């Protein structure tokens, strides 16, 4: 298999892309590098919520992706929809999947299920002296679980593509769980070693699947969004 070069073309910021829109919610494609909500300081005011509000006044944030992560984000168009969608996230009724390219070749443990899913169960807590980093803490950490499945392994590049399902939704959960297994995500400036971080121009983590019940009609809706970076094929 040919080695994959993790290079992205230089380009101006792409316009905000809307994948679904109705009177109650919208689903956007968040690019890597864009905050979901404003940060502190004038240089951190450009964000997904601000751009969305300029196009659809009154939109409300329901959940977030890390600034470095790309992919599917749902926003509410009024308070009742925000409350219903927030409750669905809190009750773990929202289906989320991510694609990640990691260093190495993760080996599934004996507890892998019939569909090939393995579970990472490591409690996490804020690493206050090194914020915004999180850390594994078996004494004080909050329960944190991630399901993962191997999709492809590039033996020449020694990288793998993983499909991830967060059972819980802790800050940096996917990134820290994978780094704790010894398989950090390429391009991760917080949890990868410098060599692994330098292998990609961005964090190779993408929210590729989002499914939920419509907050008004109750209809099940699901969206898929391919990763904006190259993925190695199965050897």
Distances (CA, A) of 202 to 100, 112, 177, 197, 229: 12, 30, 19, 8, 9
> Whose CA is closest to 131, among 228, 40, 17, 231?
40
Contacting residues for 86 by C-beta, under 8 A, at least 6 apart: 62, 63
CA–CA distance, 28 with 7 (Å, rounded to integer): 24
> Whose CA is closest to 25, among 232, 212, 234, 233?
212
Contacting residues for 135 by C-beta, under 8 A, at least 6 apart: 124, 125, 126, 127, 141, 176
Determine contact, residues 2/156, Cβ cutoff 8 Å.
yes
The token duo for 7 is: 């290079």
Candidate list 22, 29, 43, 66, residue with the active-site label? 66
Is 66 designated active site? yes
Counts for the chain of helices (H) and strands (E), in that order: 4, 12
| Residue positions annotated with a catalytic role | 66
């Amino acid at each position: 298999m040919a080695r994959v070069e993790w290079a992205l073309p230089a380009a101006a910021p792409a316009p905000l892309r809307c994948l679904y829109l109705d009177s109650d919610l919208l689903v956007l494609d968040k690019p890597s590098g864009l905050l979901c909500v404003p940060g502190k300081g004038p240089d951190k005011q450009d964000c997904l919520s601000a751009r969305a509000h300029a196009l659809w006044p009154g939109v409300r944030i329901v959940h977030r992706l890390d600034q470095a992560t790309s992919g599917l984000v749902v926003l509410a168009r009024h308070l009742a929809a925000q409350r219903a969608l927030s409750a669905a996230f809190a009750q773990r009724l929202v289906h989320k999947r991510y694609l990640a390219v990691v260093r190495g070749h993760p080996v599934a443990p004996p507890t892998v299920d019939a569909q090939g899913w393995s579970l990472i169960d490591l409690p996490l807590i804020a690493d206050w002296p090194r914020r915004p980093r999180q850390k594994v803490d078996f004494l004080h950490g909050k329960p944190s679980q991630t399901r993962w499945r191997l999709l492809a392994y590039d033996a020449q590049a020694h990288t793998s593509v993983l499909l991830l399902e967060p059972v819980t939704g802790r800050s940096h959960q996917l990134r820290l769980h994978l780094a704790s297994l010894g398989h950090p995500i390429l391009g991760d400036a917080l949890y990868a070693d410098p060599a692994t971080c330098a292998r990609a121009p961005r964090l190779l983590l993408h929210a590729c699947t989002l499914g939920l019940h419509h907050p008004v009609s109750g209809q099940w809706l699901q969206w898929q969004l391919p990763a904006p970076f190259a993925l190695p094929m199965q050897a």
